[in-house]
Amino acid sequence: MAHSTAGVITLTVNGEKHTLPVDHRTTLLDALRERLDLTGTKKGCDLGQCGACTVLLDGRRAVSCLQLAVAAEGREITTIEGVSDGERLHPVQQAFLDLDGYQCGYCTPGQICSAIAVIEEHAAGWPSAATADVRPEAGPPPLTADEIRERMSGNLCRCGAYVSIVQAVAQAADAEGAA
Amino acid sequence: MREFGYQRVFDVPDALAFGADPEARYLGGGTNLVDLMKTGVDRPALLVDVRELPLDRIEATDSGGLRIGATVTNSDLAAHPEVRRRYPALAQAVLAGASGQLRNMATVGGNLLQRTRCGYFTDSSQPCNKRIPGSGCPAIKGEHRNHAILGASEHCVAVHPSDMSVALAAFDAVVHYETADGPGELPLAEFYLPVGDTPHLETALPSGALITGITLPPAPVAADSRYRKVRERASYAFAIGSVAAALDVRDGAVREVRLAFGAVASRPWRAREAERVLTGGPATPHAFADAADTELAAAEVLPHNRYKVALVRNLVVAMLTELAEEAAR
Amino acid sequence: MTTMTGTTATAAAVGTGHTRVEGRAKVTGAARYAGEIPFAELAHGWLVLSTIARGRIRSVESGPVMSMPGILAVLHHGNAPRVTTDYTGLLGRPDPTVAVFQHDRVPCAGWPVALVVAETSEQAREAAAALVVRYDDEPHDVAFSAGRPGTYTPESSPRLQAETRKGDVEAELAASAVVVDAEYTTPEEHHTSLEPHAAMAHWDGGRLEVVDSNQGSRWVAEDLAQLFSLDPASVRVRSEHVGGAFGSKGVRPHQVCAVMAATVLHRPVRVVLTRRQMFSLVGYRSPTAQRVRLGADADGRLRAVDHQAQNLTSTVHEFVERSAAYGRVMYDADAHHTVDRVVALDVPTPTWMRAPGEAPGSFALESALDELAEKCGMDPIALRERNEPDRGPVSGLPFSSRNLLACFREGARRFGWADRDPRPGLRREGRWLLGTGTAAATFPSGVAPSTAAVTAEADGTFTVRITAADVGTGARTALTLIAADALHVAPEHIRMRIADSDFGQAMVAGGSMGTRSWAWAITTAAGELRERLALGGGIPPEGITVRSDTTEAVGALAMRERHSFGAQFAEVAVDVSSGEVRVRRMLGIFAAGRIVNPLTARSQFIGGMTWGLSMALHEEAVRDQASGALVGADLAGYHFAANADVPLIEADWVDDTDNDDPIGIKGIGEIGIVGAAAAIANAVWHATGVRHRHLPIRPDRVLLAVGGTGGAG
């Protein structure tokens, strides 16, 4: 059976709808970078092994390199370009800037998108592999440095900025908790 | 990656109709299909996107177990209060796998069907009996530090990478599927095929079958369970050895025990010999070690993976000892 | 004409923490890297690499591929433009690996054999996968081991000596009360910058424009001009943002491919390496096999230091990982012998990788020092104090400054070293055995000629133009602070423009020499500009520009042993039943000259230490002997430290002034990794009583070493 291998899709990115023809092989990552000129989302490995391409899909973090664009139709896509409030940086962005939570900056958009989701996942009571007791009776784990490290481990940083990344996530989580 | 068709489906009959094409693959989260398509390991002509099938619920069964839909994401599985309460090792196993991003995408059905991460399998320029039957297994004489010590064959020594499946194996999960001819089910113990001389045939699912979900039978022992995973970095890496363990101890004796090993075989390895030896006997570190040795007596090691025998044995002893001590408190 | 307005800074910018100039662009995703600049009519190139490790290409069957949708060209040795490698560039003779598609020989697995160019990257990828290349296979040899046949001592140059000798090592070893004789190995390691190598080339009115990700745009431009026999003035290379480099981002096959394809197709072509391709095309750190022999008196005074290191190179180019050079700076002895040997195998050419030589060399020698301390019953820091030289142990030259002991004193105080029980295997916390370790560190502080242009603009601001590169080091920000102080204005008045080959000759970002070299050029130009402005007379609309060239000043620098120093401390936890090793904390104290921007400098030190942790526990590329190719050449197969591996790491520094140096800056990019792996290995010994002499310290090695006392295999 011959299948159509391309189609016209509508992607909702940062609240805006974009209609574009795509080869079904096009990943969401390539659609963002090559077709929509949203190059803040980075390609580090293209195989789901580094996290540089992390975006939010329906509010949850995901690696856009393993997400086919055609399969992202109908979902709310948020990229690094869409997380700030106009000129006002998202608290996570501000913390990365202030605490030098990066060096070359290439993994940074993915780290920031991931961190935004980590703070929400934690607020929702999700346990992690660093949580000593995952049973609901144990209550939600505090967002310790070890919890942040584990939850942020899907975002590799080759420059070795993890120490300040953890501090930035903690500071942003505190700021949001206080807000 | 060759060009392919894409079909999103919203009900199971539609999925099966499209999935009947032998060159079709069901697309869940895509976390272990899109990567293999990019590297040329898999070359489907049609992707049937099943993410929007109504199979995304986790429900209690009348008997006290859980029914988990095939499109439930790993994240939702691990966060679910009843999973964490009744089968904490399952939540831990899922949380030990991949990363937060990948767990948000990956589905339970897809997780069961993960392919091995053997470096020869994922490199389409290399021979591999799993990828190209008859081409040979370079791992046996080559790089096999993270390859199988149990149940392997001269044709393939790759290990199954799933953490989730190890916990499911310990808890006697049953995999449910649909075909054009009607539904079917496979206990996890029969879901994965022995390697033998057909390493490319990985599961007992009929052709075109769609996994619809998993049921976990009630298992009170699972409430005191845990999963430990050892890997070559602290997170975001596949296991080099893992153990799911559950223990019910009364008056110093083992009433019930569940043990399954990961990263030691082509499938999650339910340690039934060890369980048999332990049941009814004393809950002592010595007994735990004897039981692990009994199970691992069948191990066939290669020059660079013999450490796995000690690793799994030590994990069993440490975990059961800890569970026994907690039960005694 | 306008006149200068009062913009004089009240406080010095250098020495206080400043967030990165481009920081906002990086956290908002606005910063564009090489593969992200849109171009009309852009075509996409995809490399095809050899699947054999040695032999000849019999045929490249491009016919079927050319008929696939969107395919524009298949370049290979039969049709590619000719290039020449018969030249000496800024950093020496080029690695012939960059001369792609010039002949049918295949000298290693992963050698470029074709480039497929298509309208889209999806089309190019599929065509590259479909392209059939037939080979005549020949037997290959990729087996690296200590002392294997074919090992030779490379030729020395005045600056790079392969072998140094002083005194009679054998006699001094024989006369020593205590001897350590041990072999250490480090595996093949890869840079794995998060941003893959990417280059876009196009011809624009007779000029070749290249948008690249590199460590030196002038370097790449000059080499491309040489390779393609072009007038250097007709080549422009820019590299605004670079997503990590670590030594790998020089002249590489992707730029050459992009230029070839743009030339053939008369349209812009971008070539981006895949992650897997990076593992064979951009260099790597050679594996090393090192034998260290130390002889000492009972009180720890060294009588003999013998460090014999071996690495590999390819059959097409000689690159020497100078591991043994480390000891020529660090420790004196009555007899001293160091040598770096090499063997040429059928593998890709290795290259510089963060602290080339010093990283593996320090692992071996600083581990051996710890073993000697154990044998002498001495504290490891006291042993180093006992052997602190007052002149270069091999050169005899004075040190420009050497504050190693100050680093150890400050580090020991902050780490709590005084409370340490030296006996191994005594501390337990649950399933974890705990231990602490230390090691010294050093890295050369070099400088190279550079040019800069500083313009006083009519609006009272200043523009600096220099072909510097910011590969994540914070150079753009550091140079802004340097320029601000040199011009006596606040940093906000400086516009720092870098990474454009049109700005002229300058040092690359490498060898921990970039910031020092560039700062010198900027300071010189800024000083002259201030003198010009002091004469008054206002500024014309085009501004007033002063150019500098530091060639003469750099050449006049007195001969000294110029180095950064440091003391590394680590605490580890080891579960010998599972083989897991976790680093619990690290502290590094450095004497590294004047620190320009404490905020980013700390990040760089910590980044280097994180590399050391990763080197100690994780990193290792494994080559399949049968195919000659790497196994698991991706980021799931090649592990570097993830967030969960890295504890709180602290880095700080002591005063380290060099009155002889007009700039006073020493490099800080590499010293953070030096000694870090040894400190961790020494801590693992302290925790468990087992010496790990082979990196990485993997779980299987820890498990199999249980109960052993001699060392782990």
* Structure tokens that stand for B14 in this block: 């539609």
> What pLDDT does residue C347 have?
98
Of A117, A136, A154, the CB nearest to B236: A154
Considering only CB atoms, A159 lies closest to which of C28, C121, C607, namely C607
Taking 60 as the threshold, does the pLDDT of residue B141 lie above it? yes
Judged by CB atoms closer than 8 Å, whether chains meet at C24 and A97 is answered as yes
Neighbours of chain C (3+ CB pairs under 8 A): A, B
Q: Which residue has the tokens 């005194």?
A: C167
Q: Kindly list the domain boundaries of chain C, sorted by start residue.
A: 23-31+448-555
Q: Are C678 and C362 in contact (CB under 8 A)?
A: yes
Q: Does pLDDT of C706 surpass 80?
A: no
Fold of A91-178: DNA polymerase; domain 1 (1.10.150)
How, if at all, do strands B66-69 and B210-216 pair? antiparallel
| Residue B11 domain boundaries | 5-49
Nearest-5° Cα angle at B147, B142 to B152: 105
Instruction: Check pLDDT > 50 for residue C4.
Output: no
Of all residues in chain C, the one with the smallest CA distance to B139 is: C624
Q: Which residues in A lie closer than 8 A to residue C32 (C-beta atoms)?
A: 39
Q: Tell me what the pLDDT averaged over chain C comes to.
A: 96
The count of CB pairs under 8 A between chains A and B is 129
> Which chain C residues are within 8 Å of A145, Cβ to Cβ?
648
Length of chain A: 179
Residue C133 has pLDDT above 90, yes or no: yes
CATH of span A6-82 = 3.10.20.30
Structure tokens that stand for C516 in this block: 């020092």
C-chain CB neighbours of A50 within 8 Å are 194, 635
State the average pLDDT over residues B284-303: 98
Mind spelling out the 3-state secondary structure of C59-90?
Answer: EEECHHHHCCCCEEEEEECCCCCCCCCCCCEC
Active-site pick, C188, C240, C410, C670: C670
Other CB atoms within 10 Å distance of the CB of residue C8 = 11
Say yes or no for a CB contact (<8 Å) between A97 and C19: yes
Kindly report the CATH number assigned to the domain that includes residue B306: 3.30.390.50
- Say if the Cβ atoms of B233 and C644 lie within 8 Å: yes
| Cβ neighbours, 10 Å, residue C165 | 13
Residue in chain A nearest B43 by alpha carbon: A25
Residue of C nearest to A111 (CA): C27
Minimum distance, in Å, between the CA of residue A178 and any CA atom of chain C: 22
Q: Is B136 on the interface with C (CB under 8 A)?
A: no
Any idea which architecture C23-31+448-555 has in CATH? 2-Layer Sandwich (3.30)
Rounded Cα–Cα distance for residues C473 and C671 (Å): 13
Whole-angstrom distance, CA of residue C111 vs CA of residue C628: 12
Chain B residues lying within 8 Å of A133, measured CB to CB: 88
Section C516-538 average pLDDT = 96
- The verdict on a CB contact (< 8 Å) between A30 and C121 is yes
Q: Among C3-12, C42-51, C98-107, C217-226, which stretch is predicted with the lowest mean pLDDT? A: C3-12
Report the candidate in C604, C609, C615 with the shortest Cα–Cα distance to residue C587.
C609
Chain B hits for A116, CB-CB cut-off 8 Å, are none
**CATH code, domain carrying B35:** 3.30.43.10
Rounded to 10 deg, the angle between the C598-617 and C358-376 helix axes is 70
Task: Give me the pLDDT at residue B88, please.
Answer: 98
Structure-model confidence comparison of residues C26 and C713, the more confident one: C26
pLDDT over 50 (residue C653): yes
pLDDT, position B320: 98
Instruction: Please tell me the distance from the alpha carbon of residue C673 to that of residue C605, in angstroms, as a whole number.
Output: 8
**Burial class for C207, CB neighbours closer than 10 Å (0-12, 13-18, 19+):** middle
8 Å CB contact of A162 and C22: no
Query: Does B1 sit within 8 Å of C645, measured CB to CB?
Result: no
| Neighbour tally for A10: CB within 10 Å | 10
Q: What residue spans in chain A does CATH classification 3.10.20.30 cover?
A: 6-82
Within chain B, residue ranges assigned H as helices are 12-19, 34-38, 74-79, 81-86, 88-96, 100-105, 108-112, 164-170, 188-191, 272-278, 285-296, 307-328
| Rounded percentage of chain B residues whose pLDDT exceeds 70 | 100
Provide the mean pLDDT of chain B. Answer: 97
**pLDDT above 80 (res C227):** yes
Interface partners of chain A (CB pairs < 8 Å, 3 or more) are B, C
The partner residues of A76 in beta bridges, in order of sequence, read A12
Taking residues C213-240, what's their average pLDDT?
98
C2 pLDDT exceeds 50?
Answer: no
Q: Three-state SS for C246?
A: coil
Inter-chain CB proximity C578 and B230 less than 8 Å: yes
Tell me which H or E stretch contains C294. strand C288-296
Q: Are C672 and C588 in contact (CB under 8 A)?
A: yes
In a domain, B189, yes or no: no
How confident is the model over C322-369, as pLDDT tens digits?
999 999 999 999 999 999 999 999 999 999 999 999 999 999 999 999
Residue C658: what pLDDT?
A: 79
Whether C473 has a pLDDT exceeding 50, the answer reads yes
**Is there a contact between C599 and A156 if contact means CB atoms under 8 Å apart?**
no
Q: How far is residue C572's CA from residue C600's CA, in Å, rounded to a whole number?
A: 26
Q: How many CB atoms are located within 10 Å of the residue C232 CB? A: 13
Amino acid letter at C636? Answer: A
- Min Cα separation C637/chain A (Å): 9
* Percent of chain C at pLDDT exceeding 90: 94
**pLDDT of residue C176 exceeding 80:** yes
The verdict on a CB contact (< 8 Å) between B31 and A63 is yes
Is A117's CB within 8 Å of B38's CB?
no
Q: Which neighbouring-strand residues pair with B301?
A: none
pTM of the model: 0.98
* Tens digits of residue pLDDT in A9-22: 999 999 999 999 99
- For chain A, the average pLDDT equals 96
Number of H helices, E strands in chain B: 12, 12
Banded model confidence at residue C712, pLDDT cuts 50, 70, 90: very low
Contacts of B136 in chain C (CB under 8 A): none
Give the B-side interface with A, CB within 8 Å: 1, 3-8, 21, 27, 29-31, 34-35, 38-39, 45-47, 49, 51, 75, 78-79, 81, 84-85, 88, 91-92, 95-96, 98-102, 104-105, 234-236
Query: Which chain C residues have a beta carbon less than 8 Å from that of B318?
Result: 431, 577-578
Q: Which of residues 36-75 of B touch C (CB under 8 A)?
A: 38-40
By the 8 A CB rule, do B108 and B77 touch?
A: yes
Residues of A in contact with B101 (CB under 8 A): 48, 51, 54, 61-63, 114, 154
Across the interface, whether the CB atoms of A156 and C640 are under 8 A apart is answered yes
pLDDT tens per residue, range C546-590? 999 999 999 999 999 999 999 999 999 999 999 999 999 999 999
Q: What is the pLDDT of residue A1?
A: 56
* C183 has catalytic annotation: no
Mutation target to probe the C interface, by most C beta carbons within 10 A, among B307, B309, B316 is B307
